[in-house]
Chains A and B, each alone.
Chain A
C-alpha cells in the first residue's frame, strides 16, 4: 500500500459514495426490464482516467458492494467483481491520457472509447456470466443475454456521457506548455 496517496484514498472513498448515489438516483430506466442507463459507470470511467487503475478498481468494488448491501441487503458478488474490473481496466490508460494536463486530443478520446468498450465487453459478457454460472448455476443463455444487454447499455453510456465528462473537465485545465514567453 506504499505509494497510495492520501488524495487517492479520499478519491476512493468519496468516489464510492458518488457511485452509490448515482446508481441509486441517477439510473434512467430504458423500458427493457432490469436495464437502465447507469450513469454511475460514466462517472467510474471518468475517475479511472483521472486517478488510475487502483483507485478506480476500488471505487468499483467498494461502491458496488456497499450499494448492493445498503439497497438490497446483500452484495451480488459476481457483478461487484466486474465493477471493480471495469474501473481497474479503464484506469490502465490513465497515464497515456494524462487528463490533468488538459489537451484532450481526438486520438486520446478514441483510445478511451476503444479501451472502455473492450474492458466492459470482457467484464459484462465474459466474467459476469461465467461467475453467475459458477456461483448460482443459472442457465447459460439467460446470463449471457443479461450480460450482452448490460454491456451494450454500459458501453453506450460511458461512450456518450463518459466522453462528455472528460471533454468538459479537460476544458477547465490549462494545457501543459501553453504559456509563451512574451518578447
Chain B
C-alpha cells in the first residue's frame, strides 16, 4: 500500500516566494479560464504558460511523476470513452464532416472528431501543471490563511487546514485497523465482491468511532482555547504581499481576460479551423 500523494516540497524559487494568496488567486482564475474556454489557441497559450511556470518552480518532473502518469492515463481513458459513445461528436460541434477513414460501422474517423478529442485532452491537461504547482509550493497552513484572505470565512478555512493536517493521522488509523483485521482473517484486498464489501464494514466502523472520538477531543481542546470567540482571526503563517505578488496577479488577470476575449469574441467558445 505505497502511498503517493502530493504534498508541500520545500525549495527556493520565485514561485515559492510568492504568497499563498497570489497562488490561490492564480490557480482559481486559471481554472475558471480553462473551464470556460474550448478555444485551441487559448488552450495552447495557457498550456505554454503553465509549463513555463512549472520550470520556474524548480520542481523536478520525477518528484510529481506518479500524479502526472495517473492523470494522463485517466484523461486518455476518458477520451477513448467519449469516442466509443459518440464517434461523431466533433462533427456535431464543428458543423462539417471530413472523413479520414470509414472505419467499422459507426466508428468512423473524421478530422473534426480528432480535433475535438485533441481539444478535450488539452482542456483537461493544461490545468494539471498549475494545480500541481499550487499544491507543492504552498505550505498547508499558509493555504488556510490564503483562503481566509480571499474572503472565505475563517471557520471554513480552518476546517480545510484541519483536513490537510489530519490526512496522515487518519491514514495511520486506517492502516492500523486494516492490519489488525487482516490478522484476524478479514481482508478487503481479496475475496469475492460481496465478501470484500462486507469486510470493509469491519474497517469502516472502527475508523468511524476513532474519528468521532478525535473530533470530540480536538473540538474540546479548541473550545478551551477560545476558538471562534473573535469575529476575525490572525494567521501565524501569513506572508505580506510584495510588489512581485501584485505583478503576478496582474499578469494572471490579463491572461484570464485575454482568454475570455479570444474565446467569446466570435460568439462561440470553440475555435473552428474547418
Contact = CB atoms under 8 A, between A and B. Distances in A.
B207 A37 contact: no
B127 interface: yes
B201 interface: yes
A139 to B, nearest CB: 3
B161 A141 contact: no
A4 B163 contact: no
30 contacts: A1-B153, A4-B155, A9-B155, A9-B156, A10-B218, A12-B156, A13-B160, A13-B162, A14-B162, A14-B218, A15-B211, A15-B215, A22-B174, A37-B193, A37-B200, A43-B208, A58-B159, A62-B159, A70-B6, A71-B5, A72-B128, A74-B128, A74-B131, A75-B131, A136-B124, A137-B120, A141-B86, A142-B84, A161-B197, A165-B201
Contacts of B77: 33-34
Contacts of A18: 170, 207-208, 211
A17 B163 contact: yes
A25 B4 CA distance: 12
B21 to A, nearest CB: 17
Given A31-B193, A73-B128, 7 more contacts: A11-B215, A26-B188, A30-B193, A58-B159, A72-B71, A137-B89, A137-B270
Interface string A137-166: 111111001100000000000001100110
Contacts of B98: none
Given A13-B161, A43-B204, A62-B160, A145 B211 contact: no
B155 A26 contact: no
A25 B167 CA distance: 12
Nearest to B222: A6
A85 to B, nearest CB: 17
A63 interface: yes
A10 to B, nearest CB: 4
Given A9-B158, A73-B128, A26 B204 contact: yes
A14 B82 CA distance: 36
A88 B188 CA distance: 29
A25 B1 contact: yes
Interface residues of A, number: 59
Nearest to A40: B204
A20 B167 contact: yes
A135 interface: yes
Interface of B: 1, 5-7, 31, 35, 38, 64, 67-68, 70-71, 74, 77, 81-82, 84-86, 89, 93, 120, 123-124, 127-128, 130-132, 135, 153, 155-156, 158-167, 169-171, 174, 178, 188, 193, 196-197, 200-201, 203-205, 207-208, 211, 214-216, 218-219, 222-223, 227-228, 270
Contact of B5 (A22, A70, A136, A140): A70
Nearest to B173: A21
A33 B162 CA distance: 33
Contacts of B216: 7
A25 to B, nearest CB: 6
A64 to B, nearest CB: 11
B203 to A, nearest CB: 7
Contacts of B163: 12-14, 16-17, 20, 62-63, 66
B259 to A, nearest CB: 15
A164 B200 CA distance: 12
Contacts of A20: 163, 167, 170
B211 A14 contact: yes
A94 interface: no
A114 interface: no
Contact of A66 (B31, B89, B164, B204): B164
B212 to A, nearest CB: 8
A160 B84 CA distance: 33
Contacts of B124: 136
B115 to A, nearest CB: 13
A16 B165 CA distance: 11
B35 A77 contact: yes
A24 B66 CA distance: 14
A175 to B, nearest CB: 19
